[in-house]
Structure 1
């Protein structure tokens, strides 16, 4: 059956705040003109979609939200800005979009500075966690809205709306209202509305945060496949490490308005640049104490944790990190074991996670340890059993002690499941 043609209502022109002084402290509003709707000069193919943040700083009173941040994003790259609330990731995204303006530095998109370019004139589109769909318009009308404001011919609007809805598999819902859609379907419509303008850069501000876990995981895969198919630069803001690891070409871990580490997912997970990154991405068991063995070990109250490399030579206090999946666990029979990379304790929790068994071990005092083993090889242990945990030296990461990370809540405590 052939779908009937879709008619699009006429809407008033976009009204955008003018850049410049305002009268009496009230922002001046101007109506968009034909010149405003004229397309910008098209950059060369190797420039389109390239984003360069050159020493940008953003302050709110005495608070520095983004601190002298520089970042080069390549055309067609999927990059995630990852970090806890208040680290500056959303402010950075909003400056790229034009909703915030840096106090210092420059922003270039597709080779051109956009500092004096209003949001609606930048070759970017933004998808927010709140999809902000017009409830009184149909799906197709929502997607068409931006093209109408650019005075795109109706035939072209119809064609591009159909193409965008096809990209997100929502064409058969074109006549429905947003209230008749599920959360995942609304998210797809918001994506189609952003993509219909064919931006050089798509900005995504935690767009999956309102979805349940299963749907969020499905949309992660769809987003990555869609980005690879279109070749558009994606800048994705999230506090969810799983999202960043599963989708990104590179991840920028942010802390206090700066980038703590910028690398691919494998590097960020296996070779974190600091204790802050190690704690934020995945889970870690941390042991803190004086540095020993010439910088190759930490002598903590519960274990001497040694690495093959003397990375902390000359450092007095440090911390060692071992991921739960790298630790072996068995019932403690009292048999002598090595002096390093061994911790003894009492099992206080067991959780079945499907393909993984998770164990929580109390080491004594205020420290516990998290262990995960694949279910087929996991030992049969009960709460209260004495256990011994061991791990290989090459799975140990050593860092200088980072009190600020601990006090800021960024180090995941090994005292909870």
Structure 2
């Protein structure tokens, strides 16, 4: 049998492939998901990233079968699942609330789904043991959930989902209840586990660090649509809009106008010249330029020959472990953040007058109407608004 002329058609029928075709979900007169189309490859770790209300959890719940689209189609492993109840879909879901049965042991919790499927006892015991071994919880098989830490309960919830050997594992903010150190440890473990198993993971999060550290691709969502779909490097270094630039990582935004020669943006207290002339802009157009804090260098003396430059006063210095963060006030309305590796950070103190510079390839320019504020972006703080990071 010959393969399709379109290789994507073959991928879409493989176990673990997920396809959403113009999927729309409404609640009354509110559109939660708006004609969303998405192809998730078999064995891929894909994150749906965005703020509350962007439609990411609704999208996940429609894949799981807990919600049903008003329009469009959802296919898993090449077959439409419209009308198929959640328990008959080849997926399992892990939630932020682990929903473990408190009266059952760890092993009994993991075995519950297999018992409902009437899996033979010998096979059940073998699969439960293998699942617990996979998440390093075999030694806790006889404990009750209340005797476990949050991270251990998370591992049990994963084992309970994985023991069913689903084609797709759906994870709805599963690390949100963990403290920072444990959350970072679980991020590494989840990625290692996914790579080991080769199962398709669809991960919902509002935490950019989680998405960047684990994902093969990230779908940044906004108002029920995908604003940008790409790998982590592209999302971070080449955001498609000011919305994505603001939501993923931090940015210094400068509003201004396109320079007469079209080479960059002139802002009241800074000039910003990207590595290449602007495309799609005319001289005098309102524009928004962005520079990430890690690309802002500071010095007490004015550097020579740099066209990307601004000057101001240091009004805050924060220690972030491996980085030092400087807050520089340019004027009453504008401040700029700079983050430098601690060993190489300049010896600057609050009150010092400094020059801020950045390389041309660090400058990104967006249309002025591309509202970053809708992503939760807050303009750089003034002196009266300084708070701890």
Structure 1 partner of 2:173? 206
In 1: Cα distance, 2:332 partner to 2:21 partner: 48
Structure 1: segments with no counterpart, 5+ residues? 1-42
Match of 2:353 among 354, 367, 386: 386
Superposed displacement of residue 313, structure 1? 3.8
The Cα shift of 1:320 comes to 0.6
Question: What is the CA-CA distance between 1:412 and the residue it aligns to?
Answer: 4.3
Is 2:377 the counterpart of 1:411? Answer: yes
Contact 2:51 2:375 in 1 (8 A): no
Tell me by how many angstroms 1:154 deviates.
Answer: 1.1
The answer as to 2:106 corresponding to 1:139 is yes
> Which of 312, 315, 320 is equivalent to 2:289?
320
- 1:317 Cα offset (Å): 1.1
How far the C-alpha of 1:310 sits from its partner, in A, is: 2.5
The alignment covers a number of residue pairs equal to: 372
Match of 2:247 in 1: 280
TM-score of the pair, normalised by structure 1: 0.86
Match of 1:6 in 2: none
1:399 aligns with 2:361: no
* CA distance in 2 between partners of 1:298 and 1:277 (Å): 20
1:343 to 2:301 alignment: no
| Equivalent in the alignment of 2:147 | 180
d(CA) in 2 for partners of 1:322 and 1:218? 30
Instruction: Please list, as runs of the form range in 1=range in 2, the aligned pairs for 1:189-200 lying within 5 A after superposition.
Output: 189-200=156-167
Q: Give yes or no for the alignment of 1:88 onto 2:42.
A: no
Which of these residues, 262, 278, 284, is aligned with residue 229 of structure 2?
262
> Offset at 1:94?
0.3
Distance 1:45 1:330, change over 3 A: closer
Determine the structure 2 residue equivalent to 1:117: 84
SS at match of 1:211: coil
Q: Tell me by how many angstroms 1:413 deviates.
A: 2.7
Q: For 1:308 and 1:319, locate their aligned partners in 2 and report how far apart those are by CA, in whole Å.
A: 16
Deviation at 1:156, TM superposition (A): 1.1
Instruction: Give the superposed CA RMSD.
Output: 1.7
Residue of structure 2 aligned with 1:371, choices 338, 343, 349: 338
Structure number with larger C-alpha Rg: 1
Change (3 A) 1:84 1:133: same
Specify whether residues 327 and 404 from structure 1 end up closer, same or farther in structure 2 by C-alpha distance, changes over 3 A only.
Answer: closer
Q: Aligned partners of 2:66, 2:339: CA distance in 1, in Å?
A: 44
Deviation for aligned residue 1:290: 1.3
Query: Which residue does 2:37 correspond to in 1?
Result: 70
Alpha-carbon distance, 1:294 to partner:
4.0
Deviation at 1:118, TM superposition (A): 0.1
Q: Deviations over 1:344-393 (max 9, x none)?
A: 11100001112111100011021100001111111111111111101111
Summarize deviations over 1:257-294 as a string: whole Å, max 9, x none: 10011000111111111111111111110100111144
- SS at the partner of 1:308? coil
What runs of 5+ residues in structure 2 fail to find an aligned partner?
A: 1-9
TM-score, normalization: structure 2? 0.92
Q: 1:336 to 1:223 in 2, by over 3 A?
A: closer
- The alignment status of 1:292 with 2:259, answered yes or no, reads yes
Q: Is the 8 A contact 1:221 1:247 kept in 2?
A: yes
